[in-house]
Structure 1
Amino acid sequence: MPFFDGARGRMHYRRWPIENPLCTVVLLPGIGQNTGHYHRFARAMRPTEAEVWALDTSGHGLSEGDPERPGTLTELVDDATRLVGLVRADQPRLPVILMGHSLGAVTALAMLGAAVPDSGEAIPDSAAFARDYPLRPALPPHELAGLVLSGVPKRALGGGVPGAPGTPLPRALPVLAVHGVDDRRAPIDAIRVWTSRHESVDLRQYTDAGHDLLHEPVHTRVTADIADWIQGVVVGLARHP
């Protein structure tokens, strides 16, 4: 089983290898989930020729740690960035699509310095705040071919307004956001507002669906939309080397 040394112990990751992949999807699950929950999704990515790698968050699955305390956002970013580094070392020429669900989506945005609270109040640019919300990218944006976000909580969606702390998402980075209209954990209004601030974001909304889209009755449609979007991104890269 593959492991690496993370910020708080040994971290387990899972890989679903395929022959001659065209791209790699690096998946960060949500709280209470682990890589074993994504076998179906990884199989569905095969026709797209996307190889999936996924990380067990600290304390989840086979990763060491306390499941009640998965770590600070800075620590989560550090672990996820190390996994991307392993992917890049193994497949240096393949485009990388970063994907996160819920806490994993917060982590994905934080890897780009773009996860900050959605608040009407001024947020101080202090060292304490920066420890909780990394304001600078841990991963150079050019390392990614695209970003897929699922069920992003409001607490990470304060970016995109003039003067907001953090690093704006690169305009050239394709972003797909999938969200359930009936999501109670992360109500959809926040991602709608956030999407309106970013021209590069394609928001797909699913009626009669809640927070965990890939494990709900709509999972087939959501997975197909993600696969089609990824294929479009990879084809676009091939046309514009």
Structure 2
Amino acid sequence: MRYFEGVSGLVHYRRWPIENPRAVVVLLHGLGQQSADYHRFCRAANRSGVDVWGIDHIGHGLSEGDSEAMPPIDDLAANAVRLTALARTEHPELPLIMVGHSLGAGTALIAMQDRGAVVDSVSGVVLLGSPERAAILDVPAPRVPTLVLHGCDDRRAPIAPIKRWCAQRPGTRMREFLDAGHDLLHEPGYRAVTEAILEFVQDAVRRTSMPARRVPGLPAVAV
């Protein structure tokens, strides 16, 4: 099993590696989930030439922390940046996409506010079921191409505030899924959602005409 030292304890992460990948995805799950819930998506990503790294948030899955408490979003974001650094160490030359669902989407938004070299090397962001809190707090959009996927029938994170949020941020592109709720990658229409994400990843591959720069001074991994 793989772990790294997070801001408040050991953080578990999973890998779905392939030989000669064309891109890398860092996957951030939602509240009450864990990286193991995403095997189906990750296998599809592998078939598309994508290497996937998935985190277990604080108190989730095999990571340390209180499973009954909501972890601070800043701590989640800091851990997401650390996992991104590990993925970037393994693949310094490939386009890297951060994909977050619900709590993971909020985590990705906060993580992308970091001004360090690791976040600057991210090629794009995909947000699924973005929490309404992101719109209420007026979190800036990431500084890279951003795809927002949302279910029209999402009752846990209503779509209207996120539509307004996207409309005010030219760098974002939104796609709505009819008859879909909150957990887009685990609903009957998951195939269309998976295809949308992987098309976005392949767009990043096509945009990458030069190798991504290496990121100096990355932390060592503890496994």
Q: Would the alpha carbon gap of residues 70 and 94 (structure 1) be closer, same or farther in structure 2, given more than 3 Å must change? A: farther
Aligned partner of 1:47 in structure 2 is: 47
Distance 1:42 1:195 in 2: 27
Aligned partner of 2:128 in structure 1 is: 150
Quote the offset at 1:89 in angstroms. Answer: 1.3
Q: Deviations over 1:28-52 (max 9, x none)?
A: 0001000110000001112321111
Which secondary structure state, in structure 1, belongs to the residue aligned with residue 208 of structure 2? helix
Q: Would the alpha carbon gap of residues 73 and 146 (structure 1) be closer, same or farther in structure 2, given more than 3 Å must change? A: same
Amino acid at match of 1:169: P
Aligned partner of 1:120 in structure 2 is: none
TM-score by length of 2: 0.89
Distance 2:210 2:86 in 1: 27
Q: Deviations over 1:119-168 (max 9, x none)?
A: xxxxxxxxxxxxxxxxx546665311000000011111247xxxx6x655
Q: Would the alpha carbon gap of residues 88 and 140 (structure 1) be closer, same or farther in structure 2, given more than 3 Å must change? A: closer
Contact 2:156 2:182 in 1 (8 A): yes
Q: Is 2:208 the partner of 1:230? A: no
Aligned partner of 2:82 in structure 1 is: 82
Q: Deviations over 1:165-212 (max 9, x none)?
A: x65532xx1111110000001000011001101112111100111000
Matches within 5 A, 1:103-122: 103-113=103-113
Contact 2:147 2:173 in 1 (8 A): yes
Which secondary structure state, in structure 1, belongs to the residue aligned with residue 79 of structure 2? helix
Pick aligned residue for 1:220 from 183, 187, 191: 191
Distance 2:64 2:56 in 1: 9
Distance 1:234 1:8 in 2: 34
Distance 1:211 1:190 in 2: 14
Matches within 5 A, 1:91-106: 91-106=91-106
Q: Would the alpha carbon gap of residues 10 and 239 (structure 1) be closer, same or farther in structure 2, given more than 3 Å must change? A: closer
Unpaired segments of 5 or more residues in structure 1? 114-135
Quote the offset at 1:87 in angstroms. Answer: 0.8
Larger Rg: 1
Amino acid at match of 1:148: V
CA RMSD of aligned residues (A): 1.9
Distance 2:200 2:91 in 1: 21
Pick aligned residue for 2:171 from 180, 185, 200: 200
Number of equivalences? 212
Q: Mean Cα displacement is larger for which, 150-159 or 34-43? A: 150-159
Distance 1:5 1:202 in 2: 34
Distance 1:24 1:196 in 2: 28
Identity across the alignment (%): 44
Contact 1:26 1:84 in 2 (8 A): yes
Distance 2:28 2:136 in 1: 21
Distance 1:151 1:57 in 2: 17
Higher relative contact order (CA 8 A, sep 6+): 2
Q: Is 2:11 the partner of 1:33? A: no
Unpaired segments of 5 or more residues in structure 2? 213-223
Amino acid at match of 2:18: I
Q: Deviations over 1:44-76 (max 9, x none)?
A: 112321111000011111111112224211111
Q: Deviations over 1:54-113 (max 9, x none)?
A: 000111111111122242111111111111111111111111101110011001000123
Contact 1:110 1:137 in 2 (8 A): no
TM-score by length of 1: 0.82
Pick aligned residue for 1:174 from 139, 145, 148: 145
